[in-house]
Structure 1
Amino acid sequence: MSTTPHTLTADNWPIAICMHGFSPVASDGTRMHDAASERWDGVFRQVARLGFTAIEIADSHIRPSDLTPARRAELKSIADSHGVSLTSVHVQRQSIIEPGRGEQNLAYAHQAIDAAAELGMQVFSTGLHQPFNEAQRKALWFWTVQGPVDPDDAETRALAVRRLRELGEHAASVGLPMALEMYEDTYLGTADSAVRLIEEIGLDNVGLNPDIANLIRLHRPVEDWRELHEKTLPYANYWHVKNYTRDEAGDGSWWTSVPTSLELGIIDYRAMVARAVEVGFRGPFLMEQYGGDSLGICATNRDYLRTLLPEGGVSATDGNRSAIPAASETVSA
């Protein structure tokens, strides 16, 4: 069970940390999902030491729906002992239209929604991106290699809409917003396609995770980051934020990108956060970083982000999408 302040300010706006800074598999081969409570305790201890009070549980590390009820309770108890809330579960690379696995992934997503509600999370987060191919796994940066592509096929897109609407209805029934992460070469891979998908699903609790950095890092021509945000922010209810430097040749012969901090990258988050709040964004933020000291960079990015949020506060209930429950509401199973 969780509650959120009725007024969101720079000081209390929910900002969570990702799990990229933790290895999903220990040196002895034990998956974090199966790890002893001591290892989980170490994760939340580090998170709290960095000043974070919230974390996104990535299913690459821990799959809450696959834990026993006792282990789920243990996960929440350990997090609570360090003052860390479980903001969301992020179901990644489990596309509900993945060839040969779509129905299985759909069933898993339903289970993840129930687990998220049981754990008192604020958001159910997912997308349409599929598992890495072998070339992506071998690359220094996976986004420099071509991955799977959603088919340009009306029937497959309609299937995606139906299944995502089914998940959205389930999420709504347990009091959860559902956020769909933007990602290249999926039906969430361009601003227009992503917005159209949300409109086709047609549920107030289903919105976008406008992770535009997933697109501007690509070594290919991309949409202008300003236009991407302008089109998608009105539909946002959860936001993975990270940044990259980007350079490209004027003749289109080459492109390059490297992860960097929110402040130094090509996306101007000062302008974009102000615009997001203006058009009604009231969702949690998730600090994300690839490479280097992911945890440390997420912490400095969080501190920077708080300087961009409104000091005077905004109402948590006047947003554009159903993103954060009002103080009088709760999220529970």
Structure 2
Amino acid sequence: MANATRKWNRDTWPIAAAMIQYPNILADGRSVQDQSVEEWALTLDDVVDAGFTELDPTDSWIRLADLSSARLESFVKLTRDLGLTMPGISTARRSVIDPVHGDEYLAYGHRVIETAAAIGAGSVSFGFFGPLTDAQKKALWFWTVDGVKNPDDAAIWQKGVSRIRELGRHAEELGIELALEMYEDTYIGSADSAVRFVTDVGLANVGINADLGNLIRLHRTVEHWQDMMAKVAPYAKYWHVKNYNRTEDETSGLIVTHPAPLEFGVINYRTAIRLALSHGFQSPFLCEHYGGDGLSVSATNRDYLRRILPRD
């Protein structure tokens, strides 16, 4: 893909807002799934006011694949009325190798792919990370506490490969790409493991969501972001972008991280994106940010991306 014709430039590249700062369960105990169209509109007005023209209906906020056909049609109409398009759908904490819900999540994954096709989204992001533990929910930053780990088990690895290949073939039939999200202690938890996994899957439309922020934020030793990016760039697809400040005290061993806007964190996204582009990267971006007004920081990050993406 290294010299493939580019589809977009800095003005047209799809850069979506994530909805991670909006919970699925509301303060009154209701689910976003059951809200009225008018209530959905109040939330999406925030996205429009932040200047976004693209939205990822992240399933930690709303599970489009679990809406009825009529409700899905109403949601899509709302987004269009608001001037929003949906280039991708991201899933979270619904691993197809979950020891309890894996079969359920595999079926859900197929519904997500069909929903993506129905709404005109060309990308879907899946991951192998599990639900937050009670300790993670209590922490200020959940990534400072160890969570669910994928087992060091060749049979489970192969089960994951087989199930992602199954989803990938379904997506391929519908013209959709799958991106597997890099996340600690999963089979996509390091650059080497991620490359090995997608190579085992062996489908051109299945690649890596190079969310290096998920690894750089860890309070432990991790591979340098540039070395990771060099390995995963040839496989990069739908890309979640976020950044962190990271301090490592070699004397004491102390490692401290904190969310940061894209242009101020330790990952140099100008360099990372140019590397991906040199390998033919042609997928949407998704802006995420934890802490504070995550949507506004994401909007700042979107503007930064538009400054550094190719002019034509």
TM-score bracket, normalised by the shorter chain, equals: over 0.9
Q: Secondary structure at the match of 1:257?
A: strand
Q: Secondary structure at the match of 2:198?
A: helix
Letter aligned with residue 110 of structure 1 = H
**Residues 227-273 of structure 1: CA deviation (Å, up to 9, x unaligned):** 01110011011110000000112146221100010011000111111
CA displacement at 1:291 relative to structure 2: 0.5
Aligned length: 308
**Residues 8-45 of structure 1: CA deviation (Å, up to 9, x unaligned):** 11100110010023243333222212111111112222
- 8 A Cα contact 2:7 2:282, kept in partner: no
1:133 maps to 133
**Residues 181-229 of structure 1: CA deviation (Å, up to 9, x unaligned):** 0000000001010001111000011011000000010011111111011
Letter aligned with residue 77 of structure 2 = S
2:179 maps to 179
CA displacement at 1:281 relative to structure 2: 0.8
- 8 A Cα contact 1:31 1:61, kept in partner: no
**Residues 274-304 of structure 1: CA deviation (Å, up to 9, x unaligned):** 2111121111000000001111101111101
2:209 maps to 209
Q: Secondary structure at the match of 1:94?
A: coil
Q: Secondary structure at the match of 1:38?
A: helix
Query: % of aligned pairs identical?
Result: 45
Query: Is the aligned partner of 1:113 residue 2:113?
Result: yes
2:244 maps to 244
Letter aligned with residue 249 of structure 2 = A
Q: Choose 70-79 or 56-65, whichever is displaced more.
A: 56-65
**Residues 39-69 of structure 1: CA deviation (Å, up to 9, x unaligned):** 1112222212221111111111111111000
1:142 maps to 142
2:38 maps to 38
1:321 maps to none
Q: Secondary structure at the match of 1:180?
A: strand
Larger relative contact order, structure 1 or 2 (CA cutoff 8 Å, min sep 6): 1
1:90-105 to 2 correspondence within 5 Å? 90-105=90-105
- 8 A Cα contact 2:17 2:298, kept in partner: yes
Change in 2 beyond 3 A, CA 1:79/1:182: same
- 8 A Cα contact 1:44 1:84, kept in partner: no
1:301 maps to 301
Tell me how far apart the structure 2 counterparts of residues 90 and 114 of structure 1 sit (CA, whole Å).
Answer: 13
Change in 2 beyond 3 A, CA 1:241/1:104: same
Tell me how far apart the structure 1 counterparts of residues 159 and 212 of structure 2 sit (CA, whole Å).
Answer: 25
1:324 maps to none
**Residues 104-151 of structure 1: CA deviation (Å, up to 9, x unaligned):** 211111111111111111211111111111111111111000111111
1:327 maps to none
Q: Secondary structure at the match of 2:228?
A: helix
2:155 maps to 155
Q: Choose 109-118 or 68-77, whichever is displaced more.
A: 109-118
1:72 maps to 72
CA displacement at 1:6 relative to structure 2: 6.7
Q: Secondary structure at the match of 1:113?
A: helix
Q: Choose 10-19 or 85-94, whichever is displaced more.
A: 85-94
Q: Choose 194-203 or 116-125, whichever is displaced more.
A: 116-125
Tell me how far apart the structure 1 counterparts of residues 126 and 179 of structure 2 sit (CA, whole Å).
Answer: 6
Q: Secondary structure at the match of 1:55?
A: coil
Query: Is the aligned partner of 1:49 residue 2:49?
Result: yes
Letter aligned with residue 102 of structure 2 = G
Letter aligned with residue 216 of structure 2 = I
1:1-16 to 2 correspondence within 5 Å? 7-16=7-16
Change in 2 beyond 3 A, CA 1:137/1:82: same
- 8 A Cα contact 1:149 1:185, kept in partner: yes
Q: Choose 201-210 or 86-95, whichever is displaced more.
A: 86-95
Q: Secondary structure at the match of 1:244?
A: strand
Tell me how far apart the structure 1 counterparts of residues 100 and 280 of structure 2 sit (CA, whole Å).
Answer: 39
TM-score normalised by L of structure 1: 0.90
Tell me how far apart the structure 2 counterparts of residues 260 and 7 of structure 1 sit (CA, whole Å).
Answer: 29
Q: Secondary structure at the match of 1:22?
A: coil
Tell me how far apart the structure 2 counterparts of residues 255 and 147 of structure 1 sit (CA, whole Å).
Answer: 18
- 8 A Cα contact 1:150 1:185, kept in partner: yes
Change in 2 beyond 3 A, CA 1:272/1:73: same
Give ranges in structure 1 of 5+ residues lacking alignment: 314-333
